[in-house]
Structure 1
């Protein structure tokens, strides 16, 4: 027996090593762009009523505070400027612009290997937000977020298979000048990941320098326009039903510069949006439809993501709540409205009200991520790492979120039913000719990788094995994984010549 043990152990070790190796794309059980759409909290009648009510809101109430450039663009397209200064949108205008709107968007990655195709029920998970704090899991304290934290988040996201894009998840609070902060945000994100990046700009006058930086990174303006690997996250409205004047001017400049736009409406149900789920969806839909009109009046067919991001409140206290069941329903309902219009869309899911990566965070993050994925939401923003109702970001939680999203994506994939998966012949062979179980059969072994998602850090050992391994702690494993990623040079780093040119042209705050 002892003589045979090494052979068994060696075989087991070899099998474990093979299972740990990256899977070929054709046998991966989950991937970016998987088809959701199985979950539909709204009926067809519900969606039609939301649509008609949103059109009523645009036609009868309209939006205030457009910049003069926006007034000129929208009235030339057919919007009506009232004596009260509000722009109202006739139904026919909205319908005409929906017909012109881009229905399929390709969000480019810098290296061409992580492009995202946004259409139908294709689902992608990523980060987002403007957290102002970092969560320290060792001290359980919150501190100001920095440009180094942002760069590290990009480097970590670059190594996580289930994080498909990086929208800036935090603000670099150590950079006081807003223009320098915006430019350094591009630098920190793009030098940390080659996946698609989303950023915001504080003022329209910052956009030309940002585009110059992106042209340098891309290798020229033509190369940038052919494959814009950074999109503009644009809070073009201030709910309820007002344009954000400067953000609209930023949007106009970004469209001219060839940058994809996320039209972001982020009302809070019970404060800046109706407290009912249906009412919050109506307002977000109306506001984003106004954005669709705006974008297509400037440039018909320009890539614009319908960013209906209504958030919830705890109405007992007025505190923002992003981890509730109501939040999950808001985002899933918004996903259905994107499909109603045939528009690529995004909403927030996967964030937590919990201050730490604990059990509360786990149930909140999984609930909304699964529901968003099952609803077929194209872009699931805030999907990993975000805590304290969007105030705090945690690198370790980002890493744990990769495992969590893996399980969510497996739920999205669903159940395949065909002759092979029904397995009648396998049942016959095992029961009549075989050992009476399916362990180690050719059928089981051939499908173990393509059918099953295995957690990277999640623990499935027995209590005895867990004790023998030193009782590993999930947060400790995430911290170790973070340290391992950050100990290596970023695969997305710029060439020395490009980096030198960027630093000569712009004030870069990250150290070499």
Structure 2
């Protein structure tokens, strides 16, 4: 009589393998996986958008540059018309594109979190300026605070698939704008050693902000060598206008050694044209003007090409950040970054849902996966953001780590190699083995490196789920959030933290 083959320690072996930490290069997903296998635009369409953007810069130009910007840009070759608009000859744009920084690194305070923005390497993170926090336990909204921002940074530090932390909320408990900007910097950097993105509400705040940043870096020279904070800069007010104060702040940040995100955030059907292609044209034109601006001031300064066109629900005019149109806009912008071979960033993962629910899941999943598959270097606002950028949810940030894990697995794609297509494993099972692959040597070898498993996502059978007390996803997210916050450590030593608090009015603990 044939006896069933027993796999000695089969389940125990699988459990042990799941719990054992993997080397970074063996993990199924990680920061900087190359994307780019999805193309929303053909090569001919990319070229058409490029030429339309150059036409817009030559024929329409941008208005309302500050006097310093006018001087910088006209000295480089831009033409100031009698109508006050600066126009950009094609040759000027091409010259500045040749000088622009490529293959840049956005540094973390800890080098293991450095972000390589070359090619189609993909990184996901937070962003935005939500003014509310979503309370999932009461399904209500309240004003966001400095403590919320600090907590979000601490949670981000613990999440493997969220690679950088750009300020996600406004500290509305701080009425003084300078104190708010300084608290934003410290709330972020004391919560995580990943790369930080911030912004300044007024140009006069850049100097005090840089003074604090240099202290955090251990000196200006250290920061310039490894700038771990970048400036998110809405240097334009679409359509085709410079934002004067933001431009002045950007100039100061560049002189201070901060990488900049050149952010154009028009809204299709409102401040950007309704056709998706033409919305991309306008965003590209505005960001190309930014490339000229930056490189006329400081050739080769690290800058992210931040085409962030958003979408309007044309029935109401309200923003529709979780729509399929938004996913296509972002994917198209990613192709334009690659066309110019510039480090690029755009928005995805925004949900129009007010709380983490099924709508939030499909909106975050669809927009993030297209951004990743398009090879977007920096995917901003990818987790935690609700109500079309008005609300940020800490539990959604935690849940988003699972979403991004699955997205990154899609970005990695299918490994087709001699080993992965060899039929020897099939022979071993079908001709001489038990007729299944469970517990086979190949399965055990690949279960952690080929497959990714959700931290909170539930794959139990209905019977198992019932026996486990019917665990609820939101309750699990609350529990993980609380555990992370309870275990998180301040990212500066106590003595240094005390010195900062003695010099600055810090609003969080």
Both structures adopt the same fold (TM-score exceeding 0.5): yes
Match of 1:497 among 488, 495, 498: 495
Pairwise CA distance, 1:496: 1.9
CA distance in 1, matches of 2:488, 2:308: 35
Alignment of 1:419-430 (within 5 A): 419-430=418-429
CA distance in 1, matches of 2:382, 2:8: 39
Matched, 1:364 2:363: yes
- Mean Cα displacement is larger for which, 335-344 or 205-214? 205-214
Distance 1:97 1:417, change over 3 A: same
Q: Which secondary structure state, in structure 2, belongs to the residue aligned with residue 127 of structure 1?
A: coil
Q: Distance in 2 between matches of 1:11 and 1:427?
A: 20
Residues 411-435 of structure 1, C-alpha deviation per residue, up to 9 Å, x if partnerless? 0111111121113111111111111
Structure 1 distance, partners of 2:498, 2:475, is: 37
Structure-2 change in CA distance of 1:169 and 1:328 (3 Å): same
How many residues in Structure 1 have an aligned counterpart in Structure 2?
504
Q: Pairwise mapping of residues 355-434 of structure 1 onto structure 2 (< 5 A)? A: 355-434=354-433
| Cα deviation, residue 14, structure 1 | 6.5
CA distance in 2 between partners of 1:210 and 1:464 (Å): 56
- Equivalent residue number for residue 3 of structure 2: none
Q: Distance in 1 between matches of 2:104 and 2:359?
A: 35
In the alignment, structure 1 residue 269 sits paired with structure 2 residue 287? no
The match for 1:510 is 508
- State the alpha-carbon separation in 2 of the partners of residues 11 and 134 from structure 1: 45
Give 2:473's aligned residue: 474
2:461 aligns with: 462
Root-mean-square deviation (CA), in Å? 1.4
Following superposition, the deviation at residue 26 of structure 1 comes to 2.5
8 Å contact from structure 2 (residues 17, 448) kept in 1: no
> Aligned runs of 1:74-89 on 2, under 5 Å?
74-89=73-88
Q: Deviations over 1:141-164 (max 9, x none)?
A: 000000000000000000000000
Provide structure 1 residue ranges, at least 5 long, that are not aligned to the other structure.
1-6
What is the SS of the residue equivalent to 1:319?
Answer: coil
Output aligned runs, 1:15-164, within 5 Å: 15-164=14-163
Matching residue of 1:3:
none
| Structure 2 Cα separation of the partners of residues 218 and 21 of structure 1 | 34
Q: Deviations over 1:446-472 (max 9, x none)?
A: 111110010000011111111111110
Question: Do 2:154 and 2:488's aligned partners in 1 also have CA atoms closer than 8 Å?
Answer: no
Equivalent residue for 1:484? Answer: 483
Counterpart in the other structure of 1:227: 226
- Once the two structures are TM-superposed, the CA of residue 503 in structure 1 deviates from its matched residue by 1.7
**Structure 2: which 5+ residue stretches go unaligned?**
1-5
Moved more, 7-16 or 129-138: 7-16
Deviation of 1:360 after TM superposition, in Å, equals 0.3
Tell me, yes or no, if the aligned pair for 2:101 and 2:342 is still in contact at 8 Å.
Answer: yes
Deviation at 1:22, TM superposition (A): 3.1
Q: CA deviation at 1:507?
A: 1.7
Does residue 170 of structure 1 match 2:169?
yes
- Mapped contact 2:348–2:371 kept (Cα < 8 A): yes
Q: By how many angstroms is 1:46 displaced?
A: 0.3
Match of 1:338 in 2: 337
1:374 offset after TM fit, Å?
0.2
Q: How far off is 1:9 after superposition?
A: 12
Partner-residue secondary structure (3-state), 1:380: strand
Structure 1 segments, 4+ long, off by >6 Å, are: 7-11
Distance 1:417 1:493 in 2: 41
**Structure 1, residues 201-226: CA drift from partner, whole Å, max 9, x if none?**
01111111111111111111111110
* Pairing of 1:302-321 with structure 2 (within 5 A): 302-321=301-320
SS in 2 for 1:357: coil
- 1:111 CA displacement: 1.5
Going from structure 1 to structure 2, the CA distance change for 1:36 and 1:70 (only over 3 Å counts) comes to same
Could you say what secondary structure the match of 1:166 adopts?
strand
Match of 1:433, SS state, is coil
In 2, the alpha carbon distance for the partners of 1:227 and 1:246 equals 27
Shift of 1:270: 0.2
